[in-house]
Structure formats: structure tokens, C-alpha cells
A and B are shown apart, each in its own frame.
Chain A
Amino acid sequence: MEEMPADQLDATFAALADPTRRAILARLAKGEASVVELAEPFTMSQPAISKHLKVLERAGLISQGRDAQRRPRRLEARPLRDATEWLGTYRRFWAENFQRLDGLLDELKQGEAK
């Protein structure tokens, strides 16, 4: 399993750290939608919604469809799924621990070799 790079993970979490963006993702989980459709539940201007969409796109969480007029946004599940896997914290916790232990063991070996 490939590790998710740290900056991708940070972008994902930053993107998710906003209730409007989370609501947008929840709406897109039900199917693709245009900016107009996405803006509809919020008392927010379309440009404001578009700013949120840009953040989500940069994080790789949504993509734009080809329809030049409507430009529907759709949810990209992989970064979220990767983040979930990364959140397989049990494994991650131990992988980091053991990497540090490798370093410590090198030191101990050198110490005993003297």
C-alpha cells in the first residue's frame, strides 16, 4: 500500500477543516453537481462557493467534468480513502516507532562493538 505523502494529507485536512466544504463534499457524495446547484443551500455568493471549490480541487477531493457550460463537480474518493487508510493509525503508529527503534538499535550495536 502506498503511503500518502504528508503534504497531500495536509491539503486534505485543510480542505476538510471548513463546514461549508464538508457540506459540499456530502452533497457531491450523492452525485455530481454544478456550482449553481452547490451554492443553492448556502447564503453565500457563487464566487465565495467557487473559492471553496478551488480549495477542494487543489486537495484533489473534487474534479471538474467536461461539460463546458455546467462544469459539474464530482467527488474524488481516493484522497479520502487514502486518508482513511493513513488513519489506519495502529499500523502507522508502530511503523514510526519501529523506524526510530532501528536507529536506536544501530547505536546500541555500535556501542557494543567498542
Chain B
Amino acid sequence: MTSSQTNSDNLRVTTPNEREVAMTRVFDAPRHQVFDAFTKPELLKRWFYGPDGGSLDVCEIDLRVGGAYRYVWGTPGGEQMTARGVFREIVPPELIVNTESFEESWYPGEALITVRLVEAGGTTTLTTTARYESQEARDTALRSGMEHGVRAGYDRLARILATLEAS
């Protein structure tokens, strides 16, 4: 997958190389507030839960280098997903680097997530990069995403599409 991208609103998603997915998004808010929204459990629970009807039920964050985090989501379909990782770098309000892996193994191995915040005139540009262990891991993460367990219908669709493509 070379440098493909999709755009929607002001969210830009790209694949800058074979192991990474990058996103850019602009927020109409000062940087320290965006940083808080990414690092405070009571704020994360308000937005970081995927499709409507989902929830971030557990959000434990030990915000220091070497500290761990754990997120447990409920999906609209009633399933659970758990992500864990460790913080590698933290520079408030501009940088967070942490590892990430899912209990459900949506993708093989561990990813390294980098979140950078740059502020100019009251608006903040978020750039986040997820680096996977391999191209295959990256592509698997892109395909299965976070909604893997949401609705059985999506799985059926994927099987149909595979059938149609193969025929």
C-alpha cells in the first residue's frame, strides 16, 4: 500500500510507508486542552469510544514514562475490547509516545503510537502516527479496525465481498 489516503471533513488518513498509518486533524482549541482530552480518563471517556453506542468503560492511565495504561471498550454489539500499553515519552502539551496492543489481537504484535500537537493562533493540529511491526500487521489493523466486533453483519459483508472478489 503506497501512500494512499482518504479524507473526510478535516481528518486526513495516510499510509506514509508500508508499516505506518498517519492521521492529521485540526481542532479549534488550545493545545493544552487537546492534550488533556487525550490523557485524562474522565475526558477520554467522553469521546474515545468508536461508533455511537459504544463506551469506554475502563480507562486507567499512569501518565509517566514507563507508566502503563489500560482501556476497555464496550461495543454497541455488546462485546468488549481491551488495549494496553506503556508510555515511552511524554512532553506536555505537545507529545505522547506509547506502545499499544489489543487483547483480542486485531493485528499481530505491538504498535508504537506517536501523538504530536502543534498550536497556532488558538487552533491545534494533531498528527498521530501508528507504526506496526510489519506491513501485514499494519494492513490487518487498517482492515479490521476497531469495529471488528461491532455487528455480525459487517463480518457477513466481508465474507461476501471476498466471495465476489474471488469469483
Contact = CB atoms under 8 A, between A and B. Distances in A.
A96 B137 CA distance: 23
Contact of B21 (A1, A90, A97, A100): A90
Most chain B CB atoms below 10 A, which of A16, A30, A94, A100? A94
Contacts of B161: 80, 84
Interface string A91-107: 11111111111111110
Contacts, number: 119
A36 interface: no
Interface residues of A, number: 39
Chain B contact-residue range equals 35 or more
A26 B141 CA distance: 27
Interface of B: 6-9, 11, 13, 21, 23, 25, 27-30, 33-34, 36-37, 43, 46-52, 141-142, 144-148, 151, 153-154, 156-158, 160-161, 163-164, 167
Interface in A58-91: 75, 80, 83-85, 87-91
B36 A90 contact: no
B23 to A, nearest CB: 6
A91 B147 contact: no
Contacts of B30: 109
Interface of B, helix, strand, loop or mixed by DSSP: mixed
Contact of A108 (B33, B147, B153, B163): B33
A96 B52 contact: yes
Contacts of A106: 28-29
Among B8, B36, B43, chain A packs the most CB atoms within 10 A around the CB of B8
Given A101-B47, A109-B29, A93 B163 contact: no
A89 B47 contact: no
A93 B43 contact: no
Given A13-B157, A17-B153, A105-B29, A97 B48 contact: yes
Nearest to A12: B157
A56 to B, nearest CB: 12
